[in-house]
Every structure is written in structure tokens, then in C-alpha cells.
Amino acid sequence: MFLIAWCSLNTVHQWLPKGQVLFSNPIECLNWHRSNLFRKDVDRMTDPTVDKDFASTRFWPDWPILIWMILITLLIGMLSGFGSAEIISIYNGGWGYAAGEFALILLPSFVIAAAIDRQKIEIHPAISVGLAPVVGAGMICPDTAYAALSPMVRRKKLSLAFGAYAGFKLLFPAGPLIIATSLGVADARLLAYCILIFIPVWCAGLVYSWVIEGWLTPNQTEAKLQKAPTSLVMLWPFALLATLLVLGAAFDLRFNAWIDFATNPKGALLITAAAALSMVDRRDRRACIDSGVRRTGSLLLIIGAASAFSAFITTVIPVNEVFSPQNGAIALISLFSMTALFKLLQGSSMSTFAAAGPVAVPIVAASEVSPMAAVIAICLGSFVAILPNDSFYWLVRKSALANETEFNAITILAGGAVIQATVGLSILLGFYMFNLI
């Protein structure tokens, strides 16, 4: 939208002296808009003093989404006339939904991330940008991937950021596997569909980054980068994980229980976690495991609350009538929008995945939309957007956009994420309309 505004404002150059334009690039246009139109809104979002004043005047408490979900779930049960025993019964049934599967996915994933985070990797900047999606997915966190790779990249940090962001959202074992577990999807073709959607989404982010990076003010205060003492070979656990997942998807290995489990996503993650820990000093391995346990525990709480909320929604609301089988495209857009709302409210991508998956279960069941398409729609909705309530925003903002105003940084990062989401959703709907998914 800011590109359209820039182009529109510059059409008045015909009334200006020859060769003169209002703005030489969109960044100048954004600065003008911030100083003249949107200063109060942006200041409220970014100035801690203003935000505290706003917090003191709002009518709702500043609670985590976990607390809101639990309270709203119980309120739904009471307003629906259920007795206390029935409320607790439905809540218990919903809370335990797929909790074991989530633990088998999240715990080894976070252990891998903690182990890899302790390795100092030195690679060429172009290779860093190319590996960003893989590292973002493998470390189950775009923040950690960006922090690990950005010291090797000076001028392409936005390309690195949007690559890590897209990989975390659309590649195994990150977003798609977490959502697939919520929806009970075990189809090996999901891996291929995610890659097909990921490629154009990643390319859209790269093109957007290249354009913006050409307009940005060079960071004159950037310190000289220090070379890390290790090499690309330290990422070999990700290659092991990819190999096991591809073998499991391409071949029927059920003739041997050990091999079958090792090539299942849960087994592959456990093996990869053990491999990653083997690279860590023996004294530090317990710390990596403890980190995985802490991160898993907090997410299991959110997943449990979201699953219980979904159970009450299914019981109270006639979801089958709202999302009929012929409304598949509407269901995909609804899933996309619902997840985007979770992301805008919560900020955290991982918490969004944890909360949106269980809530989406009744919608997918009622609409009879392809479960694989539903998984991808939810993942794409989680792109919207990179804002100040997301830790990834501050990491990239301080590193790649240090010389830009807060309004510019918000517009650049949120705009790129929305473009990636829009490209992905358009392709997904095209696949669905032509019965390709």
C-alpha cells in the first residue's frame, strides 16, 4: 500500500519544476506519513511511556492468551447451562487431546535448537541466506536462526530474516508438523505440498527484501564482524533429519518396527536430538535438555487450553452447519484469518501454532476441506504479521533496520510478512480450486 501511496503522490510532479519529485523513494514517503498522519498511533505502539498510559486507561486486563482461553472456555460452559461435572468432563477430555504427540515433537525439537545454538558457524553470506529457511525450521525458531546466521551477513539481513521466517512457518519439523499433529494429519504428501508452497513464498520475501535493502540507509555504525571458528559441517544434524523424513515419506518401511519409527517424524526428531547433543560438551548437555523441557512445558499448557476451548466450541456451536462441505475455499480463508487474528493478538508465532491448531479441528471436520490444505492455510495465516509484540520484530529491527524510524521498521517488516502470506494463500487457493490438493 505504501508503494501505491508513493506512486500516487509523485504523479503531481507535472505541476512541479522540471525534474523535481515529492519523494525520491518509498522510505521518504513513509517518513512523511509518520510525521504528519500516524505519529500518535505509532508512538503508542513503540513508546513505553505512552504504552503504559494506554494500559492504565483500557478496560481489559493485560493477561496472557492462556489465561484468557481458560476463562472464556469455562464461561462458555456456564453460559450454555452445563453442570459443573459436565464442564470438568468436557474440559478434561479436550485438554488431553494429542498431548503425548506434541511432547514427542516439541521436546526433541527444542533440544536440537539448544544444542545447535551453542555451535558457532562460519559460512559465506550467500550460503547463510540460502540456509536461513532450513535453520529456521530445524531450530523451531526464526529468532534463534537469525541470531545464529546474521553475524555472517552485513547487507542482506532482511533477506535472511524473511527466509528464516518462511522456513519456520512452512517447513518440517516446525509449523506444519505442529499443526498437522493438532489436526491428526499423517499424510506423507504434506511434506511435498509444504515445499511447493514454500518456494514461491520464500522468493516473494527475497524479492521484497532486495527492493527494500536498495532503499535503506547504510548502517554506518555497524561493527566489523568477527569470524566464528567452526564451519558448515556443524549443521549436519539437519541433514540427518531431512534424510530420515524423506525416507519415511518415500518408502513403506513398516517391515521393521525400529526403522519405521526412526523414519517417522517423532522418531526422526528424537534421533536428531541425540545427534545434536553429541556435538555439545558433556557438561552442557543437561542445560540443553532443561531448555527443551522448559519451552515444551509452557507450550503444552497453551495447547491444552486451546484443545479444551475447541471441545467446548464443538459442543455448543453447530459447526457442521456453519462450514458445510461445499464451502471449502471459505473454510481455508476462515482458517487463515483465524490464525492471523491469533498472531496479531498474541505476537508469538509458536504460541499461535499451539493455540490455533486445536481450535481449527472442528472447522476442518465440518467443512471436509483437505486436511493438508487446512494445515497450510493455518501456517500461512501465522505470517500476519511481524509487529512490536513479536520478539522477532525487535531482533531484526535492531540489527537490519537500526537507522530507520519505528514506523518505517513496522511497515517494512509487517509488509513483507503480509506479502509472503498473500502469495502463499493465493497459490493454496489455486491448488484447491483445481483439485490439486
d(CA 383, CA 342) in angstroms, rounded, equals 11
Write out pLDDT tens, residues 96-110: 666 777 778 778 888
Give mean pLDDT, residues 182-207. Answer: 92
The pLDDT confidence band at residue 87, using thresholds 50, 70 and 90, is confident
Q: Whole-angstrom Cα distance, residue 430 to residue 432?
A: 5
What does the pLDDT read at residue 5? 42
Identity of the highest mean pLDDT range in 130-134, 323-327, 362-366: 130-134
Cα–Cα dist 396/209, whole Å: 13
What percent of the chain is modeled with pLDDT above 70?
77
**Average pLDDT in the chain:** 78
Q: Which residues contact 232 (CB under 8 A, 6 or more apart)?
A: 121, 122, 123, 127
Task: Tell which residue, 23, 97, 117, has the closest CA to residue 308.
Answer: 97
Confidence of residue 231 (pLDDT cuts 50, 70, 90): low
For range 202-217, the mean pLDDT: 90
Q: For the segment 193-202, what is each residue's pLDDT rounded down to a tens digit? A: 999 999 999 9
Q: Which DSSP helix (H) or strand (E) runs through 369?
A: none
Q: Give the residue carrying C-alpha cell 460452559.
A: 77
pLDDT category at 3 given cuts 50, 70, 90 is very low
pLDDT > 80? residue 337 = yes
Task: Name the residue ranges covered by the structural domains of the chain.
Answer: 38-53+66-217+228-433
Residue 34 predicted with pLDDT over 50: no
pLDDT at residue 415 tops 70: yes
Flag the least confident range among 18-27, 115-124, 192-201: 18-27
For the chain, helix, strand, coil in percent to 5 are 75, 0, 25
pTM score of the predicted model = 0.71
How many whole angstroms separate alpha carbon 128 and alpha carbon 145? Answer: 10
CB atoms within 10 A of CB 262: 17
- Where do we find the cell 472464556? 72
3-class DSSP state of 230 = strand
